Amino acid sequence: MKHYIMEHEILINEYTRVIKIEEGYPHSKTLYLPTGEIDAVVDWCKQELSPGWKWQILSSSSPTTPGVYAFFFKADSDFFAFLLKFG
């Protein structure tokens, strides 16, 4: 099972890296969130960040498994504000 989790994380990291490069985003961050928490993150981004960011669902959450979400940023200031808020 641990091997599967490591492979899953490697695939997520590689996918995020490829999207970041192909779409011209200098920064990205992947979050693993329990069910119901993504809405608060997206709402915060809409209120606090400048245009030029986006997010994608990489894996939906379930009651026992966190969801995986990738966030992409064009502005350095948005990326660092996001890191300060959400790690």
Helix 38-48 with 76-86: angle, nearest 10 deg: 140
Structure confidence by residue, pLDDT tens digits, 19-65: 888 999 999 999 999 999 999 999 999 999 999 999 999 999 999 99
pTM: 0.87
Spatial contact of 52 and 74, defined as CB atoms under 8 Å apart: yes
Q: Candidates 2.40.128, 2.40.50, 3.30.70, 3.30.360; correct CATH number of 2-86?
A: 3.30.70
Environment class of 74 (CB within 10 Å of its CB; exposed 0-12, middle 13-18, buried 19+): middle
Domain boundaries defined on the chain: 2-86
Taking CA atoms, 79 is separated from 15, 69, 83, in Å, by 19, 15, 6
Length of the chain: 87
- Residues 6 and 12: their CA atoms lie apart, in Å, by 10
Higher pLDDT: 4 or 62? It is: 62
**pLDDT value of position 4:** 58
Q: What is the pLDDT of residue 1?
A: 54
